[in-house]
Chain A
Amino acid sequence: MKIAQDFRGSVIVAILAALFTLIAPSILEFFTIITLTQVIGLAILALSLALVWGYGGILCFGQTAFFGLGAYAYAVAATNIGGSTGAILIAILVAAAFAAILGYFVFYGRVSDVYLAVITLTVALILYSLIRRTSGPEYKIGNALLGGFNGTGAPPINSPGDGAAMLFPEHTFYVAMAALILVYLLCGWVVKTHFGRVCIAIRENETRAELLAYDTRLYKLGIFTLGAAIAGLGGVFFCVGVSRVTPDVFSLSQSALTIIWVIVGGRGTLIGPILATFALYYLTSALGAQQWLNTNLVLGVILIGFVLLVPKGVIPSITDWADGRRERRVSRSRERRMRVRRSRATAGTEAAE
């Protein structure tokens, strides 16, 4: 837990990530850089759930609802405006506003636990059904065709204020990495603030937090909305990376995958889910490039093995292991000191005799 609890840790991680960003184009292949933008979008999605679930204790099974709304809002807005800067803001706002309304509906209705998970999932599935219904040419927002199952094209990002100055793939990658790092720092900072501590207190014991006169509904709504805004931003980079947004962003498998990234990375950490997203994405695409074994078969075996062998998630297991080592080391050295002192003491008494 040390890494995530400590904001200094977050800064170190952020600096490492920034260094990686700078050298990435020279060590990675060009197409990998292009692909990375969409994975960064997914990583931001995982980060948003890491915040909402890992720290807020809200198991939001339908985090993809906000992710997808962000993606669609960006695609529609950017097509209509002809520039991406405003569209990104619109995407974040749409996702946050939708979450605020939905959150008001559930938190103030005192829906909790598994029921909340199901309501959010159901909302994502409703969006999935509805957006797939929009195949005809009559479903158009401004100039943007929604396209139903086929989805709609997502314009690339351009430099602010100049709709024609589209960014290169490397630059899009820089922007996406910068966004990921900033959002990561934001989350790291939020969980250290008073607001974040109250959210963690609510996660630990909602009744006790309430008895301490905190309006738990409001705090939950707050972190839920913040998470949704982040997920919306993730949606933007995802659809820019894919250059298209399709209804699959709302699908059950996307929802389940998001949860799986957080479980694999470890709840209660921010960096874990991000790394898990990259790792699992890499694994899945590497399996898709081979021809010997059925992709699902291998992936299934790996996930099952993971649950059985690394039950807490990667990062907590590593930190536990490191903590354990440190404790052992500390206790060993303490023991050694004691032994030395004891032997000196005995030596002293012997000498005295």
Chain B
Amino acid sequence: MDLVLSLILQIIYGIANLALISLGLAIIFGMMRVINLAHGEFLMLGGYTVVVATNNGVNLWVAMLILAPLVVGVFGVIVERLLIRWLYGRMVDTLLATWGLSLLCIGLVTSIFGASTTTTISPPLGVVTIGEYTSSGYELFLIGVTVALLIAVYATLKLTKLGLLARGTMQNSDMAAALGVSTSRIYMITFGLGAAVSGLAGGLLAPITGVLPTIGSVYIAKAFITVISGGMAILAGTTTASILLGGVNGIVAFLTGPTIGEVALLLLAIILLRLMPRGITGRFFKKSL
């Protein structure tokens, strides 16, 4: 019984983890149609921000919750201004550009900090005991943060004026421009927001993963598959896809082992896309965000 309970908790964490690494991409790719192959590097930069900041004496929470999204968000804005804004409407070219960007990020970080950087942080918040089993308190915290982040992004898009302008611009930028919206600014802000969310995710994961310049590549494929399986409605889509894919992955990984768990996740994604060629939200929750 304790095992079942702690396993359920573990699977929920797996789902939250998938949603966390995918959310930034959902904004940049799902909303803006920029195939961001540098997404993994955005996460890595968030992680590096935390490692470097804490090594220089910054408080861990400040580094994770404020510095990581800030630094990567600003980086995102710079990237958008210098590179991405020339490529709107040329979706496939964004693939080439962001591939170059991802190599550039890895090369820059390696050149500055070396192939690995000493880390001094460890996960805060101790251990939660369920009968004979223990789980990490920090993982529980991450589940909470992911839910809060989803709500925050939803609220921003749904309730604020900026969110309304952003959704309108993404739907029909000519019309938005005709109505006096500075679409160029909206694109910049949305991209920066997506980057900041990725940076936050990378920062939050820093205490429980290895932080290396090349680590981005382990996240990118999973994040893409999650976002695309989700479909057009980025939040509802990413959430449901994370639940389905993360759930199946966790259960299968526990029963058989991690490789088959991964294959199960990928196979499920293919079946989902075959049954629902426009993603989950192409069929369900069409009206949602």
Contact with A along B207-220 (1 / 0, CB 8 A): 00000000001001
The reply to whether A296 and B263 contact each other, CB–CB distance below 8 Å, is: no
The reply to whether A115 and B277 contact each other, CB–CB distance below 8 Å, is: yes
A253 at interface, CB cutoff 8 A: yes
The reply to whether A295 and B107 contact each other, CB–CB distance below 8 Å, is: yes
Contact with B along A249-285 (1 / 0, CB 8 A): 0001100100110011000000000000000000000
Q: A298 to B279, alpha carbons, bound, how many Å?
A: 37
The reply to whether A304 and B100 contact each other, CB–CB distance below 8 Å, is: yes
Q: Which of B18-26, B57-65, B87-95, B179-187 lines the interface with chain A? A: B87-95
Residue tally, chain B, CB below 8 Å to A: 42
Q: A203 to B225, alpha carbons, bound, how many Å?
A: 25
Contacts A122-B270, A311-B90 given; indicate if A303 touches B110 (C-beta within 8 A): no
Contacts A303-B97, A304-B83 given; indicate if A263 touches B273 (C-beta within 8 A): no
The reply to whether B100 and A302 contact each other, CB–CB distance below 8 Å, is: yes
Q: Please pick, from B95, B224, B273, the residue contacting A259 in the complex, using a CB distance under 8 A.
A: B95
Is chain A's interface secondary structure helix, strand, loop, or mixed overall? Answer: helix
A-side contacts of B3, CB under 8 Å? none
Contacts A122-B269, A311-B90, A311-B93 given; indicate if A256 touches B99 (C-beta within 8 A): yes
The reply to whether A298 and B107 contact each other, CB–CB distance below 8 Å, is: yes
A-side contacts of B225, CB under 8 Å? 118, 122, 125
Q: List 30 A-B contacts (CB under 8 A).
A: A59-B92, A115-B273, A115-B278, A118-B273, A119-B273, A121-B224, A122-B273, A126-B267, A129-B262, A129-B266, A130-B259, A132-B259, A133-B260, A260-B95, A264-B96, A294-B108, A296-B103, A296-B110, A300-B101, A300-B104, A300-B105, A300-B107, A301-B100, A303-B97, A303-B100, A304-B101, A306-B100, A307-B100, A308-B86, A308-B97
Residues of B at under 8 Å CB distance from A?
Answer: 37, 83, 86-87, 90-93, 95-97, 99-108, 110-111, 217, 220-221, 224-225, 228, 259-260, 262-263, 266-267, 269-270, 273-274, 277-279
Residues of A at under 8 Å CB distance from B?
Answer: 59, 105-106, 109-112, 114-115, 118-119, 121-123, 125-126, 129-130, 132-133, 252-253, 256, 259-260, 263-264, 293-304, 306-308, 311
